[in-house]
Amino acid sequence: MLITLTTTHHPATDLGYLLRKNPTRPQSFELTFGKAHVFYPEATSERCIAALLVEVDPVALVRNRRNPSGAGGALEQYVNDRPYAASSFLSVAIAEVFGSALSGSSKERPELVETPIPLQVVLAAVPSRGGEAFLHRLFEPLGYAITVTRLPLDETFPEWDESFCYRVELAATLPLRQLLSHLYVLVPVLDNDKHYWVGDDEVGKLMRRGEGWLAAHPEREIITRRYLKHQRSLVDDALAQITNGDEPPPDANAADHALEEDAIERPISLNEQRLGSVLSAMKASGASRVLDLGCGEGRLLQLLLKEKQFTEIIGMDVSHRALEIAGERLRLDRLPAMQKERIRILHGSLIYRDERLAGYDAAAVVEVIEHLDPPRRAAFERILFECARPATIVLTTPNSEYNVKWETLPAGKFRHRDHRFEWTRAEFQSWANTTAARAGYTARFLPVGPEDAVVGAPTQMAVFTRT
């Protein structure tokens, strides 16, 4: 198992102080399941690379009986992927070898512990049984740029095809302590095999290492479930602790989102047309107090603010980063007092009951629903149609039939990788009509963008009116 950590922070060799491992001296550590070696393939003030090589000794494992054998029987205890595929052994090694860095202490560079520094990690082989998409879903919400390369089963026998292992490269600017805790929790989540540690205080460890990020991660449930290896009682316990108190929800990659979708849709500036249509529908509803749910970077908020009709405007999003950008776009801190009183942005998630959303006249939900996992949709419907329950709801989503018209979009792909699904017109209308009927609304449908005779318009919009 090999992992390298690279920084270009200046001086880069500070990485040695943070990890408490001297770049000039390779070191080895005895672990109960094998050995760990730390060495630096490169250590200059411009760039410093620390490598952690973990040797798992399958025979020692059998002897220590810490890793009960699976269905594979005796042979599998000796012949398996444990020596090279990143797994809970790696987390244990990180905790043992880089323990002080993981818990955020550094004698020589205390000021660097909480400082975001540019870091790049390469995990040589990660067994993602959830495939490449799962890797993206785990790391992107934490702000990583991720590059994934699928590894062949055996380079000398290409006909054996690909393995379930990936080379994973992550890059972000963040405190080293945070990066190590992300790896500590997420590497075992990717490896769905028996975890080395299941049995002693896993919930406590998960809480400690997940502090400050797990509760806000959109995949926190699956992370918790897999980290705790599906042990129902532990999972319930952990989820209860995570969601305790003010629900701090997931942070989607909003800036990226805007860029990526823009690139595909740019030729007709669909975004502007969409916002124009939504704005018209909001105005036509006669609303004065309005919500923009999943407001992203605040483009619609900007338009709403220009309209005197809207006396109170609330933008809400799950992504802190998007809200930060929205705040800048709207110059919230520099608005004249009169304007400032009209607008507020809230952090929150559309899948958790939120009393702050009740009592408004109209809500816009623009290009949001396709970001919600289908199992979450029922919760979303309740929050929107029962809890917030505005007189008018203007909701848009891509029309998947139109995707064939985007030249840059490969067939069968969604317009953005964070889209969990995309609906045809019939699917959208069926969902909207059923939901409306159940909740005491009626739905009207409007195409947005240039309408094609066969596949329709790129965006579909429903205007729900409370009956």
| Residues of this chain that bind ligand SAH (CB under 6 A) | 252, 254, 257, 294-296, 299, 317-319, 322, 349-351, 366-368, 371-372
Please give the C-alpha separations between residue 156 and each of 160, 165, 225, 444, in angstroms, as whole numbers: 9, 16, 37, 60
For ligand SAH, the closer CB: 171 or 255:
255
For ligand SAH, the closer CB: 102 or 252:
252
**Least distance in angstroms from the C-beta of 294 to ligand SAH:** 3
Distant-in-sequence, close-in-space partners of 374: CB < 8 Å, separation ≥ 6? 420, 421
For ligand SAH, the closer CB: 176 or 275:
275
For ligand SAH, the closer CB: 54 or 254:
254
For ligand SAH, the closer CB: 120 or 460:
460
Q: Is 296 left (phi over 0), alpha (psi -120 to 50) or beta?
A: left
**Least distance in angstroms from the C-beta of 461 to ligand SAH:** 12
**Least distance in angstroms from the C-beta of 334 to ligand SAH:** 22
**Cβ(5)–Cβ(119) below 8 Å:** yes
For ligand SAH, the closer CB: 23 or 348:
348
Distant-in-sequence, close-in-space partners of 63: CB < 8 Å, separation ≥ 6? none
**Least distance in angstroms from the C-beta of 257 to ligand SAH:** 5
**Least distance in angstroms from the C-beta of 54 to ligand SAH:** 36
> 182: closest CA among 417, 380, 430, 5?
5
Please, what is the angle between helix 202-209 and helix 176-190, to 10°?
140
For ligand SAH, the closer CB: 141 or 188:
141
> 363: closest CA among 314, 415, 309?
314
**Least distance in angstroms from the C-beta of 371 to ligand SAH:** 4
Q: Tokens representing 23?
A: 């770049």
Distant-in-sequence, close-in-space partners of 436: CB < 8 Å, separation ≥ 6? 442, 443, 464
**Least distance in angstroms from the C-beta of 445 to ligand SAH:** 18
> 457: closest CA among 465, 442, 447?
447
For ligand SAH, the closer CB: 66 or 376:
376
For ligand SAH, the closer CB: 15 or 172:
172
Distance CA 146, CA 135 (A): 8
**Least distance in angstroms from the C-beta of 121 to ligand SAH:** 25
**Cβ(451)–Cβ(457) below 8 Å:** yes
Number of CB atoms found within 10 A of residue 189's CB: 23
Find tokens 């203007």 and name the residue.
394
Number of CB atoms found within 10 A of residue 201's CB: 10
DSSP 148: E
In 326-375 the beta strands, taken as DSSP E runs, fall at: 343-347, 362-366
For ligand SAH, the closer CB: 31 or 332:
332
Burial class (CB in 10 A: 0-12, 13-18, 19+), 183: buried
For ligand SAH, the closer CB: 367 or 401:
367
**Least distance in angstroms from the C-beta of 287 to ligand SAH:** 17
Distance CA 132, CA 413 (A): 14
**Least distance in angstroms from the C-beta of 149 to ligand SAH:** 28
**Least distance in angstroms from the C-beta of 318 to ligand SAH:** 4
CA 457 from centroid of its chain's CA atoms: 29
Residue nearest to ligand SAH according to CB distances in the complex: 296
The HSE-up count of residue 239 (CA atoms within 13 Å, CB side) is 18
